[in-house]
Amino acid sequence: MADFFIGRNQGKFKIIINYSLIDIFIDELSPYAKFYGVTFQESSDKVFASVEKNSSKAKGVFLKNKDLALSISIKNEAQNITSSITNEEWIYANMLLGNFYLSLNDIGKYRPLEINYDKYRVDFDKGCFRGQEIIARMKYLGVDRRKFITIISNKEILSEKKLRILGDKLKYKNFYVYHCSINNDYMSEYQKNNPHVVLV
């Protein structure tokens, strides 16, 4: 329904979420929040996100590989920034690491396993949560015939029977970037027939 980051700051839990998803997020949680005396309040805190090449030096890292480390933090006031990136570049870095951001058009369309959330955003040791049974059953008992991938191409691609485009494409510099779901047995053939694409 919505993706977000959560952290503790000054004795309160802070939720970092796309502004367009706030109402959906609160509507979903409000029936449960009242049992715990929880209320929601918009904050004026600043959110700082960074992409680092050296993951060993990055703080607040939530996602990384051998090349990149993504981190996010909450500050009470603006800070001096020596260099900055655009929102497009931030999304591009997240796409390269398989982090799928939901938009309003994506709400309710996907199961967690379809968009990599079983790896990055679902805790299977947590205990009960809504939809837990079917999500856990798909992970532990299902046969995973499709793989979540990122495709980088120098021209636009289209969905087909064995390749489904997920969410919105990103045009970054001279390349198109897509999140996709592809049949496992189709990956080699697709790469062979489309030498202009890179599968991540």
Q: What is the CATH number of domain 100-200?
A: 2.40.30.160
Q: Is the pLDDT of residue 49 over 80?
A: yes
Contact between residue 107 and residue 129 where contact means Cβ atoms under 8 Å apart: no
pLDDT 10s digits, 8-46? 877 888 999 999 999 999 999 999 898 988 899 998 888
* Neighbour tally for 158: CB within 10 Å: 6
pLDDT 10s digits, 65-119? 888 899 888 877 766 666 788 888 899 999 999 999 998 889 888 888 889 888 8
- Whether the pTM exceeds 0.75: the reply is yes
Supply 127's token pair: 């205990």
With H, G, I as helix, E, B as strand and everything else as coil, classify residue 183. Answer: strand
